[in-house]
């Protein structure tokens, strides 16, 4: 089958028509790739990180249709629309190819109100935001928790205009995430702005950008006036150390462990994701959470992924997710 392969770390993306079509194992499904979302992680993987074997086909923001089910699969049948985040950097799981594998328990069923293109904007972003807010800042996963009492708290999200951040905002919307600041102003002004907007009433900071670790930790340590409860900092940056601050619990998001096994962290992450998915499916079906806006690059076909990857490098980042249609619905 066709796929976009990378032969070695730092290599060029190449169109191949001889990629092996995988076979679904126990609790796995074989998915026909309809649309793939593009993510910053592919740039990191191209350089050699988060890849288990070479050559590799990348792509993890999946949207497709089930064409075969493995042993013991109960949630899905042939013809079902599915989406989510596939195992990163493992042969057989990349979305930049005609067919790929997904694991039953950590895969979403596409609701009728979500198109296959919209679905490709959700998996990585919504799961990462949930991991940050729920596993990281101990926020309950509720349908837009209401800003009820006077003493309700703010949640501070850095990178709120990005793919992950926009889903983060939707998950906390009812709590009052309704003021914004630009990260292009000096850090001192950002911190002052956070203090003015929140009045210090926050104990949760989510750095969805992976770039605001120092500012986020400083905000929690210096601006948060909540003294009687724990303070939580969570970040999508799981590759750089965060300097600890007294009273702040730090959590690094590791979506890269999705579908992996063999350690406590892998088990925890996958259990968490398995718990979130049924609730997130409800939020999407009821419209409480809406897919991010998108821009489709190229026409239809596996080879169009090459155009998408090129466009991703030079994107202006207007909040729209870049997606590529791999095959027709
Ligand atoms: N650890 C994990 O498991 C995991 C999972 C998913 C994503 N990630 C990482 O998380 C990051 C965000 O992913 P994404 O898909 O949401 O990317 P994205 O769509 O490019 O969004 C990033 C956002 O962060 C903003 N930003 C950049 N520098 C900032 C700063 N210093 N302070 C505050 N905001 C800043 C950007 O604004 P401008 O465009 O204006 O610069 C943009 O709105 C990426 O680095 C990605 O690799 C990690």
Q: Cβ neighbours of residue 265 under 8 Å, at least 6 residues apart?
A: 254, 257
CA distances from 242 to 136, 230, 253 (A): 14, 17, 12
- 50 pLDDT tier (thresholds 50, 70, 90): very high
Q: Which residue has the tokens 């950002």?
A: 190
Domain that holds residue 311: 3-122+291-325
Identify whether 272 is part of a domain.
no
Segment among 78-87, 228-237, 275-284 with least mean pLDDT: 228-237
- Give 66 Cα–ligand 1 centroid separation in angstroms: 31
Domain check: are 141 and 102 in the same one?
A: no
Decide if 198 is inside a domain: yes
Does residue 11 share a domain with residue 99? yes
Q: How many helices (H) and strands (E) does the chain have?
A: 8, 14
309 within some domain: yes
In this structure, the residue with its CA closest to atom 45 of ligand 1 is: 210
Q: Is the residue at 269 inside a domain?
A: no
Are 252 and 180 found together in one domain?
yes
Pairing of strands 28-37, 321-325: antiparallel
Does the structure show a pLDDT above 70 at 150?
no
End-to-end alpha carbon distance in the chain: 18
Q: Is the pLDDT of residue 175 over 90?
A: no
The residue whose CA is least distant from atom 27 of ligand 1 is: 209
pLDDT score of 176 more than 50: no
Quick one: 117 and 174 in the same domain? no
Mean pLDDT estimate for the chain:
94
The encoded tokens of residue 183 equal 């990260």
Residue 275 located in a structural domain:
no
DSSP state of 97: B
Q: Is the pLDDT at 177 greater than 60, yes or no?
A: no
Mean pLDDT is highest, among 24-28, 136-140, 179-183, 228-232, for: 24-28
Residues 79 and 113 placed together within one structural domain of the fold: yes
Counting every residue written for the chain, the total comes to 329
CA of residue 59 to ligand 1 center, whole Å = 18
Report the separation in Å between the CA atom of 237 and the middle of ligand 1, taken as the mean of its atom positions: 9
Q: Is the pLDDT of residue 145 over 70?
A: no
Q: Please give the pLDDT value at position 267.
A: 98
Mean pLDDT of 163-185: 83
State the Cα–Cα distance between residues 64 and 146, nearest whole angstrom. Answer: 34
Against a cut of 0.95, is the pTM above it?
Answer: yes
């Amino acid at each position: 089958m066709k796929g976009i392969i990378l032969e070695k770390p730092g290599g060029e993306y190449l169109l191949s028509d001889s990629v092996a079509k995988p076979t679904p194992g126990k609790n796995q499904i074989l998915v026909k790739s309809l649309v793939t979302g593009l993510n910053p992680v592919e740039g990191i993987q191209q350089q050699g990180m988060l890849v288990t074997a070479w050559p590799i086909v990348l792509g993890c923001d999946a949207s497709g249709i089930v064409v075969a089910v493995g042993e013991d699969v109960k949630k899905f049948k042939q013809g079902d629309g599915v989406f989510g985040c596939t195992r990163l950097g493992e042969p057989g799981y990349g979305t930049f190819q005609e067919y790929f594998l997904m694991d039953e328990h950590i895969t979403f069923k596409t609701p009728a109100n979500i198109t296959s293109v919209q679905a490709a904007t959700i998996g990585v972003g919504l799961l990462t935001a949930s991991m940050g807010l729920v596993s990281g800042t101990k926020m309950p996963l509720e349908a837009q928790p209401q800003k009820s009492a006077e003493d309700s708290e703010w949640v501070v999200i850095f990178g709120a205009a990005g793919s992950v951040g926009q889903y983060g905002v939707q998950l906390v919307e009812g709590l009052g995430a309704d003021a914004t600041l630009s990260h292009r102003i000096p850090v001192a002004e950002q911190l002052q702005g956070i203090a003015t907007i929140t009045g210090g009433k926050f104990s949760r900071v989510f750095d969805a950008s992976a770039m605001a670790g120092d500012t986020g930790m400083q905000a929690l340590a210096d601006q948060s006036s909540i003294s009687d409860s724990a303070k939580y900092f969570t970040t999508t940056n799981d590759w750089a150390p965060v300097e600890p601050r007294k009273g702040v619990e730090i959590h690094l998001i590791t979506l890269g462990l999705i579908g992996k096994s063999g350690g406590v962290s892998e088990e925890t992450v996958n259990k968490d994701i398995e718990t979130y998915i049924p609730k997130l499916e409800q939020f999407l079906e009821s419209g409480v959470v809406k897919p991010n806006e998108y821009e489709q690059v190229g026409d239809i076909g596996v080879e169009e992924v090459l155009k998408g990857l090129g466009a991703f490098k030079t994107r202006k980042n207007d909040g729209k997710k870049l997606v590529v249609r791999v095959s027709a619905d």
